[in-house]
Structure 1
């Protein structure tokens, strides 16, 4: 529910109340009007607060969804690069072993060159494992695992924000209905839904109390 929709609900409520006061049999008298105006003001403030909280929850839910997608892509890319490095490393070591075996029957000069090439291949394979700042296998694996952790955290947050957003929207709608009907149970239902929405939003930010159905 957007801010403009909330404003429309409040304005519509005010218009209906004015029409009811002007209609025959409507509420008259200064005390009645003052009491009605007080209820209207408190309801409008309540709806506005819920709308502000809803906006925050909406942004948080949107950010969680974006983090989920971005982290999933980063983890996939890092693992793909890690696997590519691994295959390259294996290929270098296999080539080094093969050259070393073949060099046994070579003349001395050729054997020396072959062993030198073997050493170069093995050094290149070792550099792929731990070379700092060069996207080594170690660095890529760490990046992939960190991205996976961010992805899992965002995936855990997202349903809480969705649930909280739904509860807050229902609370706003019921508060608007109360402003029109003056039925107390509708207001208390709205407050109960708002409380559930706030708790779900807080749990979405902190993940203190994981819920099994989310």
Structure 2
């Protein structure tokens, strides 16, 4: 009877040690899960912020383009007026010529304004850059989602392994945890992006 009690005590002590290591492993997985959650939240916030900025930039671009088109129409109208009325008084001709020069200068500023970065050329580049940043953030998010799901599954399997006492669930948990960690890491670094994303 005493030998059986000693054997049970040794077995219990080994099981408790194993369970403690599994608990530490689950704690590490929980930390990785939290990191994946933060990464996912940040990726979506970045995507939304860049999308809003891109929309605002394209709206500003469109407003400036409409203004430039109006100026060009006005210049064409003034030029037609000068061509149709060659005997126009000199003062009126001079005033129209000055307006045409002013409108053409405004047209150039609307087209390109590197000093303020608000010309159509600069806005086009800025809008495209913001769209690219939005797209990258949107590519990151699914990997965080996959990472979170896999890490949660790994935690559940490790918890069941404590209760069941088997090693196969623990090994499966480890494999899934590695996949979850890799997906989370890929969310940060984007070292692999499938063609469909």
Q: Count the aligned residue pairs.
A: 190
Match of 1:46 among 25, 39, 47: 25
TM-score (norm 2): 0.90
User: For each residue in 1:151-180, what CA deviation from the matched residue of structure 2 results, as whole angstroms up to 9, or x when unmatched?
Assistant: 110111111110111000000011111111
**Number of the residue aligned with 1:143:** 126
Tell me by how many angstroms 1:28 deviates.
Answer: 6.8
Flag structure 1 segments of 5+ consecutive residues without an equivalent.
1-25
Q: Determine if contact 2:117/2:123 at 8 Å carries over to the other structure.
A: no
Q: Determine if contact 1:167/1:196 at 8 Å carries over to the other structure.
A: yes
Distance 1:140 1:37, change over 3 A: same
Q: Determine if contact 1:103/1:110 at 8 Å carries over to the other structure.
A: no
Q: Within 5 Å, give how 1:66-77 maps onto structure 2.
A: 66-77=45-56
Q: Name which structure has the greater RCO, CA cutoff 8 Å, separation 6+.
A: 2
**Number of the residue aligned with 1:91:** 70
Match of 1:189 among 168, 172, 185: 172
Tell me by how many angstroms 1:103 deviates.
Answer: 2.5
Structure 1 distance, partners of 2:10, 2:19, is 14
Distance 1:66 1:113, change over 3 A: same
Q: Determine if contact 1:175/1:187 at 8 Å carries over to the other structure.
A: yes
Structure 2 distance, partners of 1:168, 1:118, is 67
Q: Determine if contact 2:47/2:133 at 8 Å carries over to the other structure.
A: yes
Match of 2:187 among 196, 204, 214: 204
User: For each residue in 1:159-208, what CA deviation from the matched residue of structure 2 results, as whole angstroms up to 9, or x when unmatched?
Assistant: 11101110000000111111111121111111111011111112222222
Q: Match of 2:98, SS?
A: helix
Structure 2 distance, partners of 1:212, 1:85, is 36
TM-score (norm 1): 0.83
User: For each residue in 1:128-162, what CA deviation from the matched residue of structure 2 results, as whole angstroms up to 9, or x when unmatched?
Assistant: 12222152212211221111011110111111110
**Number of the residue aligned with 1:103:** 82
Q: Determine if contact 1:27/1:33 at 8 Å carries over to the other structure.
A: no
Root-mean-square deviation (CA), in Å?
Answer: 1.9
